Amino acid sequence: MSSTHEIETKAIPASAGVPVAARSGARVRRVRTSWTPWWTAYLQAAPMALVFLLFFILPLVATVVVSFWNYTEYSIEPAFVATNYADVFYGCFSGGSALCTTFATYLSTLKFVAIVWVATLAIGFTVAYFLCFHVRTLPMQIALFMVCTIPFWTSNVIRMISWIPLLGRNGLVNETLQGIGLIDAPLEWLLYSDFAVALALVHLYTLFMVVPIFNSMMRIDRALIEAAYDAGATGWQTLTNVVIPLVKPGIVIGSIFVVTIVTGDYLTIGIMGGQQIASVGKVIQSQINFLQFPIAAANAIVLLAVVLLTIWGMLRLVDIRKEL
Partner 1 sequence: MPSAAADLELAAVTKAYGDTVAVDRVSLKVPAGTYCCLLGPSGCGKSSTLRMVAGHEFISDGDVMIGNTIVNDLPPARRGTAMMFQNYALFPHLDVRENVAFALKMAGTAKEERLKRADAMLAMVDMSAYASRLPAQLSGGQQQRVALARALITNPTVLLLDEPLSALDPFLRIRMRAELKRYQREFGISFVHVTHSQEEAMALADMVVVMNDGRIEQVGTPREVFNAPRTRFVAQFMGGHNVVTEGASAYAVRADKLRLSPLGDAEAGSSPATVSDVEYQGMTIHVALKRPDGTDLLATLPEHEFDRAPVAVGDTVGVAWHPHDRHELAA
Site residues (vs partner 1, CB under 8 A): 221, 223-224, 226-234, 237, 241-242, 245-246
For partner 1, the closer CB: 127 or 228: 228
For partner 1, the closer CB: 201 or 242: 242
For partner 1, the closer CB: 27 or 134: 134
Determine the angle formed by the axes of helices 280-289 and 101-129, rounding to 10 degrees.
Answer: 130
- Give the integer Cα–Cα distance in Å for 300 and 63: 8
For partner 1, the closer CB: 49 or 244: 244
Which residue type occupies 166? L
- Give the integer Cα–Cα distance in Å for 132 and 141: 7
Q: How far from 165 is each of 109, 160, 162, 200, 204, CA to CA, in Å?
A: 26, 10, 6, 14, 17
- Give the integer Cα–Cα distance in Å for 100 and 105: 9
In angstroms, give the least distance from the CB of 2 to partner 1: 22
In angstroms, give the least distance from the CB of 134 to partner 1: 18
Tell me the HSE value of 89 on the side-chain side, using a 13 A CA sphere. Answer: 12
- CA-based nearest residue to 257, from 300, 316, 201: 201
In angstroms, give the least distance from the CB of 35 to partner 1: 33
- Give the integer Cα–Cα distance in Å for 210 and 148: 9
In angstroms, give the least distance from the CB of 241 to partner 1: 7
For partner 1, the closer CB: 190 or 228: 228
For partner 1, the closer CB: 161 or 227: 227
The C-alpha R_g of the chain, in whole angstroms, comes to 28
For partner 1, the closer CB: 25 or 232: 232
In angstroms, give the least distance from the CB of 240 to partner 1: 11
In angstroms, give the least distance from the CB of 221 to partner 1: 6
In angstroms, give the least distance from the CB of 235 to partner 1: 11
